Structure 1
Amino acid sequence: MTREAFLGSIAADAGLAADFAAICDTGGRLQGTESAARGFAMMAERLGTLGMVQDDPVPYAGWRCHEARLTDLATGRDLGCAPLLGAAATPPEGLALDTLDCGRGAPGDYAAAAGRVVLARHEYPFSAGTVHRRVKLAAAQEAGAAAFLIVQPEPGIGPVSGSSGRAGGAGIPAMGISAEAGALLAEGRRVQLTLLGQDHAATTPTLSLSLPGRGEGQVVLSAHLDGHPLGESAIDNATGLAAALCLARAAAPFVAGCPRGLLVCVFGAEEWALAGSKAWLDRLSPARRSRLAVNINLDSIAGGASLTALTSGFARLGPFLRDAAASCGADLRTHQPLMSNSDHANFAAHGIPAARLLAGFGEPDSALRYLLTAADRRAIVPLPQLRAATVTAGALLWEALNAPDDVMMRLRGTV
């Protein structure tokens, strides 16, 4: 098969839109819920039409929330809130605390935080200068804050969610709130905060489909399934899952003739500080990891005008991917410094060249600003944009499957 025929089959694949809709139909896919179980079952069934699907369950620090409530004591009004995944619990009776607005909430902004519930602003996550939510939470905890609230900046959207990254360790209660609640509490209020969560040992499925090539090397095409319960987790990450299915269908007929094979991986517990892919990779033998030539991680690939490959510090990977995209007439941006915001980071930690394909990098007005909120639904994903992104991903995959071995080996260099 030629590159043109391969990309043409992707462009004509009627299953892409159907898969995207079906994944959204499973719900927000919070890890550990029936919604996520339905999503994994659906992905296993659809990948299973192409070959034998293996499920390697891996552990992560599970957590269930039984109650999350935030009440303005002056008015008795309950404010909309979303507990951060894995956050520390309050006492059963909750905590009565004074609020303190810490603005952006970057390290150094919490000088007067001791004993208070602090407010910090959620930032557009896909910009070079973003201060991540977990960095803010860790700084607040270190400063002695009694609890942490992260504020969704856009009115009319509701609260923002996300992970605390606590993984069963020490922490403070933490929630996401709406812009409207943030404006009220920024005035300085006394609130009652109740967060009753339970830590427990848990496992997440890890689905893999191996399509052998001529040699032992493999290209890993990955996407995470888990999401958040506030919406449909449509951009993040039904887009990546649907694209992975489409690319696997297109590649299956010809991979056997390529220099290296294709390994399609569907990870869970990505929203839990990338725990699923980390555990899976850590379990592989060094010899098995050495066969993984490159990781192309599809995560939130539609919803913005541009596509960017985050290339994890691998200096030669960016030019390689840009040239591959240009072969199909696509303009692919690249960002070289490592950003640990999806599963590619765990491949990079093992020295495997890894890139996250992402829409909307540096575009704070794009639909990706709705990630982690109830607005992340299929209606905000233009299907022509998803198809164009999938074709571009196909160009990257074609080159990774077919490039000479010496070219692929050079990608491992970081200078």
Structure 2
Amino acid sequence: MPDPTRSTIETRFPRLEEEFAAICDCGGRLAGTASAAAAVELLVRLGEAATGVTARREVVPYAGWRGRGARIVLARGEAIACHPLVRTVATPAEGIEAEVVDLGRGTPEEFDAHASEIAERIVLVRHELMFNAGTIHRRVKYERALAAGAVGFLIAGPLEGSLVAGSSGRSGEAGIPAVGISPETADRLSPSADGFPSVRLVVETDEAPAEAQNLFFDIPGQEDGWVILSAHIDGHDLAESAMDNASGLAVALSVAAEIARSGERPRHGLRLAFFNVEEWALLGSKSHVETLSHSEREQIALDVNIDSVGFSRRLTALTSGFAGLEPFLLKRAEECGVPLRLFRPLQTNSDHANFAAAGIPAFRLVAGFGEPASAGRLILTAGDTRDTVDAGSLRDAARLTLAIVTGALAADLGERTAWRGS
């Protein structure tokens, strides 16, 4: 197996930056678009080259959706750009007219304080740094607005001059129109002495059953167990989805290539897994985990999920409540010389969450956790481009991932039992 602690590291990960750029070249990779389809075929080629094994494709049926357009029309007739959130419902062709109530960040306390003002109005909230202990997810705010009788949902992004993307959070057929707006637009929708501003919201969409593909590349081990190295394929269409998650895909490819080219057969097998429709409520990994039998789940030692790295050298493992996993992670980090922080409470913000929910030890490696000034604040905006990712930070993430995966592939039964907490 490769030694992740050796000092001469310049020969490792020779294709990391090149493959990262190639993934970015596909575009934002929104599920159901030509960009996403091109990325799947690219990753088949790159994954097979990295591992030396043929890709296994797993079909994921999902409720397909396409945003055809959206706009906000102010009282005097001025049209302002907005971005339909994934799976939002459409408005009638003429749109909906309603007043806008600004709930600031959109905390539970703010919803409670304005409870009598929400029904029959359009709710406005703010997008938050996703990588933070106290983050309130957009989906929570959307569901709260829906339950309170709002007729529309606006979320303002953090980047001046840019709209914000993301999933609407709609889980069934019912819902309210939901769009992302710029911070400047949010400023124009503040209440005045005359009351709440009135707007017309128009959202056009298409919906039809669709299919996506998960990709797997299995390198067998000496025993039946598996270590999964995962990253998600899909993204959003405002930019290149470079941080989220071309970075994770590139790191996973390079780590798998290092392990494959060592020529050694580890104790456990390595399964390189690229999940799709992650941005649609983690659907690809959810579908996959649900198909696993009890014995198949028991054979998985660990899911190492790489999602959004390379834009900060401060890496954090979101350990999903698996306290017994943490000493192993810290040891591997110390051995390879890449600092690692830990956050234990389960965050359901990437594919690791579906493995954790099934009782499988899993963590997400993420950069910029708790760093509001990091480039991570630009994820889901027009700012998620390749220039936000630093080669040195990307290589740090690859070094740490290689150290962790190499150790996990050699783990004995005692270590695996400790990870599970049983």
Taking the aligned partners of 2:357 and 2:61, their CA distance within structure 1 comes to 19
Partners of 2:313 and 2:396 within 8 A in 1: no
**Which residue number in structure 2 is paired with residue 116 of structure 1?**
121
Partners of 2:158 and 2:377 within 8 A in 1: no
Taking the aligned partners of 2:7 and 2:208, their CA distance within structure 1 comes to 45
**Which residue number in structure 2 is paired with residue 107 of structure 1?**
108
Q: CA shift at 1:62, angstroms?
A: 1.6
List alignment gaps of at least 5 residues for structure 1.
none
Deviations 1:130-184 (A, max 9, x none): 111000111111111110000113423x111100121443111101100000000
CA pair 305-256 structure 1, distance change in 2 beyond 3 A: closer
Deviations 1:66-87 (A, max 9, x none): 221111122x222221111001
2:65 corresponds, among 63, 66, 75, to 63
Taking the aligned partners of 2:53 and 2:304, their CA distance within structure 1 comes to 20
**Which residue number in structure 1 is paired with residue 388 of structure 2?**
380
Q: CA shift at 1:7, angstroms?
A: 8.4
**Which residue number in structure 2 is paired with residue 43 of structure 1?**
43
CA pair 373-263 structure 1, distance change in 2 beyond 3 A: same
Q: CA shift at 1:290, angstroms?
A: 1.6
Paired letter, 2:135: T
Partners of 1:303 and 1:360 within 8 A in 2: yes
Deviations 1:216-263 (A, max 9, x none): 001000000100000000000000000011011101134752110100
Matched, 1:307 2:315: yes
| SS class of match (1:86) | coil
Partners of 1:155 and 1:178 within 8 A in 2: yes
1:209 corresponds, among 217, 225, 245, to 217
Paired letter, 1:44: V
Q: How many residues end up aligned between the 2 structures? A: 412
CA pair 269-8 structure 1, distance change in 2 beyond 3 A: farther
1:151 corresponds, among 145, 149, 156, to 156
Q: How does 1:10-409 map to 2 (within 5 A)?
A: 12-49=12-49, 50-74=52-76, 76-110=77-111, 111=115, 112-156=117-161, 158-187=162-191, 188-254=196-262, 256-409=264-417
Q: TM-score, normalised by structure 1?
A: 0.96
Partners of 1:211 and 1:256 within 8 A in 2: no
Taking the aligned partners of 1:12 and 1:153, their CA distance within structure 2 comes to 36
Q: CA shift at 1:283, angstroms?
A: 1.2
Deviations 1:252-280 (A, max 9, x none): 13475211010000011000010111011
Partners of 2:301 and 2:360 within 8 A in 1: yes
Taking the aligned partners of 1:91 and 1:194, their CA distance within structure 2 comes to 8
Paired letter, 1:134: R
CA pair 70-116 structure 1, distance change in 2 beyond 3 A: same
Taking the aligned partners of 1:296 and 1:124, their CA distance within structure 2 comes to 22
Partners of 1:344 and 1:355 within 8 A in 2: yes
Deviations 1:175-218 (A, max 9, x none): 11000000001233211101122332222101000000110001
Q: CA shift at 1:46, angstroms?
A: 1.1
Q: CA shift at 1:295, angstroms?
A: 0.2
Q: TM-score, normalised by structure 2?
A: 0.94
Deviations 1:101-146 (A, max 9, x none): 1111122423111111111011111111111100011111111111
Q: CA shift at 1:388, angstroms?
A: 1.2
List alignment gaps of at least 5 residues for structure 2.
none
Partners of 2:44 and 2:55 within 8 A in 1: yes
Taking the aligned partners of 2:319 and 2:325, their CA distance within structure 1 comes to 6
Deviations 1:330-357 (A, max 9, x none): 1100100000000000000110000000
CA pair 2-118 structure 1, distance change in 2 beyond 3 A: closer
CA pair 234-192 structure 1, distance change in 2 beyond 3 A: same
Taking the aligned partners of 2:78 and 2:56, their CA distance within structure 1 comes to 49
| SS class of match (1:250) | helix
Partners of 2:69 and 2:83 within 8 A in 1: no
| Cα root mean square deviation, aligned | 1.6
